[in-house]
């Protein structure tokens, strides 16, 4: 059965662990933190690792974020995105194409090291979108 969802994805500018732990403590639920590896899939983040991807999940709630990349500091308005994800490849690919019309594709959909298909763009209204297609799990 395919699925689709949307949730906030926040660039915490180096404070992802602190922010996601705060949200987890306030909202309950589970926290997952991953760090990048040089040549492979992400790993569970250690206490001193930069957070490549983190998530707080609780009762249908999902808040995701990262530390961002130090070489690409965000500008005002770039610290949040709508994260669209799911397993329906055809539907989500079409959504990527339609939502990015009149906007700027920053990364076309492509296979990533973690195994999913990922891309991102800014729509014609200036809203950042991150799109992730995963195989049914």
The answer to whether residue 111 scores a pLDDT higher than 70 is: yes
pLDDT at 94: 94
Rounded Cα distance, 34 and 41, in Å: 10
The answer to whether residue 137 scores a pLDDT higher than 70 is: no
Rounded Cα distance, 58 and 30, in Å: 6
The answer to whether residue 63 scores a pLDDT higher than 90 is: yes
**Residue 121: burial class (beta carbons within 10 Å; 0-12, 13-18, 19+):** buried
Please state the pTM of the whole predicted model: 0.75
DSSP, collapsed to helix, strand or coil, labels residue 121 as strand
pLDDT-based confidence at residue 50 (cuts at 50, 70, 90): very high
Domains of the chain, first to last? 4-133 (3.10.180.10)
Please state the rounded mean pLDDT for residues 74-87.
86
> Which residue has 């590896």 as its token pair?
37
What contacts 115, CB < 8 A, 6 or more positions away? Answer: 41, 134, 135
pLDDT-based confidence at residue 1 (cuts at 50, 70, 90): low
104-111 β-sheet, strand order: 43-44, 30-35, 53-58, 61-66, 4-11, 80-86, 128-133, 117-122, 104-111
Specify which of 26-40, 77-91, 102-116 reaches the highest per-range mean pLDDT: 102-116
Rounded Cα distance, 131 and 116, in Å: 10
Please state the rounded mean pLDDT for residues 89-98.
94
pLDDT at 120: 96
**What percent of the chain lies above the pLDDT cut of 70?**
98
Rounded Cα distance, 71 and 66, in Å: 14
């Amino acid at each position: 059965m395919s699925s689709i969802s949307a949730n906030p994805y926040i660039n915490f500018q180096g404070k992802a662990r602190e922010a996601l732990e705060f949200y987890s403590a306030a909202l309950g639920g589970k926290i997952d933190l991953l760090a990048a590896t040089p040549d492979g899939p992400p790993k569970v983040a250690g206490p001193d690792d930069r957070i490549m991807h983190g998530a707080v999940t609780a009762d249908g709630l999902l808040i995701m974020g990262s530390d961002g990349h130090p070489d690409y500091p965000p500008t005002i308005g770039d610290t949040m995105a709508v994260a669209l994800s799911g397993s329906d490849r055809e539907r989500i690919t079409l959504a990527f194409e339609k939502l990015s019309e009149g906007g700027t594709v920053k990364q076309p959909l492509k296979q990533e090291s973690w195994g999913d298909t990922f891309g991102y763009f800014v729509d014609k209204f200036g809203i950042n979108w991150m799109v992730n297609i995963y195989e049914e799990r």
